[in-house]
Amino acid sequence: MVPVIALVGRPNVGKSTLFNRLTKTRNAIVAEYAGLTRDRQYGEAKWQGRTYIVIDTGGISGDEEGIDAKMAEQSLQAIEEADAVLFMVDSRAGMTAADQMIAEHLRKRNKRSFLVANKVDTVDPDIARAEFSPLGLGDALPIAAAHGRGIGQMLQAALGEFARDEGADEEEAAEAEVVAEGEEAKRIPGPSEKDGIKIAIIGRPNVGKSTLVNRMLGEERVIVYDQAGTTRDSIYIPFERNDEKYTLIDTAGVRRRGKIFEAVEKFSVVKTLQAIQDANVVIFVMDAREGVVEHDLNLLGFVLETGRALVIALNKWDGMDSGERDYVKTELERRLFFVDFADIHFISALHGTGVGHLYKSVQESFRSAITRWPTSRLTQILEDAVQEHQPPLVNGRRIKLRYAHLGGANPPLIVIHGNQVESVPKSYSRYLENTYRRVLKLVGTPIRIEYKGGD
Ligand code: GDP
Ligand code: GDP
């Protein structure tokens, strides 16, 4: 599982500054709560090649009333969702009553917490450390979020224990090696024998995820179901359909109660992000009656960034008239151009219409995502593409692209070797990507292209 760290502390200690530094503001998801000026933000970040999730919180000031009280409530929820808490204090301002209150809460919850003294550019780090020792949370880790100081040591402390995720070994067992010219052998994940294709059902609250999960499972043979899970984790449901194995990663929190499945939990961003990370294929559910909303685009941005195979399900297609349907289709074309590689299905989870067809897209996109293309094939496609349309001249010299090999799967990573590759324009990369997509008949998966120079 992808580890989650929460940034908590009173307002103005530097939480947002640290959040932005850690996530480089790639695609923050803002959990929306009416009436709040500052909400929880979720972002993905990387430390030593490992992905983790950061939650920024509004802040706890200690004398919460009205909006402040809600903000504090959001912070407390973030603490619950996190594996580790970075409790930030302000070295320049010194210790306050609010700091003491938060420290007490963390101690009571017995949460893995790290005291982080920010803004040590303004005071002596030793003084900062001594200042906050009465909080009883050990030595403060001194940082200056605004200047990037102390960040490495802080992350080592908070994330060191999560150095390797549990799933990795299992994945590795199912990996095959692809040896490429001039390249070290890279490991490429394949489908897991045990789980089959892992499908995450993702979407905003109320779009129909639980209904879809029920519909998909209602018709199939569920092998094992009742799993004890914490409220934070998605539920993994292995099942078979037409002799194919699948595992559904259910973020809606559907649990079996007697014979039917019921949603018992609310939408959780953490759960959603973790499920995306852990899936082979994401079925992204949207509500046709609401059209494409900002939060959908936000979540889709995350799916794209992780590179997972993607199938889009426009749910609640029942009972819409043709005018409404046309409108939605136009909207989709206009706003979902950035994931135009994904199949779109118009379904009714409630009535079951179109649900069966999702499987074909799931399988095709999965196959596209994990096929091991030989170096000779990828190089041939590159040569043909270059012949048809030469890369541009840079300082009077032409960019040379010599050969290509596969560097990873799910998403496929195509590594292209050549000269002056750092100057390949984006538009040319897009041309190559489109060519690979077309010739290899890839559907439902993004492709990554990476260049290696000097040979
Ligand atoms: P938040 O309310 O906890 O999210 O705090 P912000 O990230 O908005 O920061 C509050 C103020 O502290 C801003 O003016 C930041 O520029 C400033 N700040 C943040 N980190 C540092 C730091 O490392 N050193 C200094 N001197 N100022 C900082
Ligand atoms: P979740 O929060 O994404 O898990 O959404 P639910 O599955 O709980 O569905 C939210 C609401 O939408 C419920 O009232 C469902 O009955 C309704 N719903 C789900 N799928 C459909 C559908 O295909 N058509 C219609 N008309 N309503 C649906």
* pLDDT tens-place string over residues 387-401: 999 998 888 888 999
Strand duo 84-90 + 113-118: pairing: parallel
Sign of CA dihedral 272, 273, 275, 280: positive
Rounded to the nearest angstrom, the distance between the alpha carbon of 116 and the centre of ligand 1 is 13
| Gap between the Cα atoms of 248 and 235, Å rounded | 8
Three-state SS for 400?
strand
Among the bound ligands, name the one nearest to the CA of residue 216: 2
Nearest partner of 444 among 280, 209, 276, judged by Cα: 280
pLDDT category of residue 39 using cuts at 50, 70 and 90: low
Cβ of 129 less than 6 Å from ligand 2: no
Nearest partner of 289 among 339, 337, 348, judged by Cα: 348
Mean pLDDT, range 109-130, rounded to an integer: 91
Type of residue at 283: I
| Gap between the Cα atoms of 51 and 45, Å rounded | 6
Rounded to the nearest angstrom, the distance between the alpha carbon of 216 and the centre of ligand 2 is 14
Mean pLDDT, range 76-87, rounded to an integer: 87
Cβ of 15 less than 6 Å from ligand 1: yes
What contacts 427, CB < 8 A, 6 or more positions away? Answer: none
User: Which of 12, 96, 124 for a ligand 1 pocket mutation test, highest count of atoms within 8 Å of Cβ?
Assistant: 12
Contacts 24+ apart (CB under 8 A), 97-103: 97/62, 98/10, 98/60, 98/61, 98/62, 98/63, 99/9, 99/10, 99/132, 99/135, 100/134, 100/135, 101/60, 101/62, 102/8, 102/9, 102/10, 102/60, 102/62, 103/135, 103/136, 103/137
Residue nearest to atom 25 of ligand 2 (CA): 316
| Gap between the Cα atoms of 287 and 204, Å rounded | 9
233 assigned ligand-binding residue? no
What contacts 240, CB < 8 A, 6 or more positions away? Answer: 196, 220, 221, 223, 246
Residue 165 pLDDT: 47
DSSP letter at 252 equals S
Among the bound ligands, name the one nearest to the CA of residue 354: 2
| Gap between the Cα atoms of 188 and 409, Å rounded | 6
DSSP letter at 70 equals H
Residue 190 pLDDT: 52
Residue nearest to atom 25 of ligand 1 (CA): 119
pTM: 0.74
| Gap between the Cα atoms of 144 and 132, Å rounded | 16
Residue 240 pLDDT: 87
Cβ of 75 less than 6 Å from ligand 1: no
Contact between 218 and 229 under an 8 Å Cβ cutoff? The reply is no
Highest mean pLDDT among 37-51, 78-92, 125-139, 344-358: 344-358
Residue 253 pLDDT: 60
For the cut 70, the answer to whether the pLDDT of residue 379 exceeds it is yes
Residue nearest to atom 26 of ligand 1 (CA): 119
Residue 168 pLDDT: 44
Residue 358 pLDDT: 96
- The C-alpha R_g of the chain, in whole angstroms, comes to 24
Contact between 205 and 267 under an 8 Å Cβ cutoff? The reply is yes
Nearest partner of 446 among 419, 411, 396, judged by Cα: 411
Residue 262 pLDDT: 46
Cβ of 349 less than 6 Å from ligand 2: yes
Q: Looking at ligand 2, which atom is closest to the CA of residue 347?
A: 23
Cβ of 17 less than 6 Å from ligand 2: no
Among the bound ligands, name the one nearest to the CA of residue 283: 2
Rounded to the nearest angstrom, the distance between the alpha carbon of 287 and the centre of ligand 2 is 9
Among the bound ligands, name the one nearest to the CA of residue 59: 1
What is the complex's ipTM, to 2 decimals?
Answer: 0.77
| Gap between the Cα atoms of 303 and 296, Å rounded | 11
Q: Looking at ligand 1, which atom is closest to the CA of residue 88?
A: 3
pLDDT in tens, 258-317: 444 444 445 677 888 889 989 999 999 999 999 898 889 988 988 998 899 999 999 999
Cβ of 234 less than 6 Å from ligand 2: no
Instruction: Name residue 404's beta-bridge partners.
Output: 416
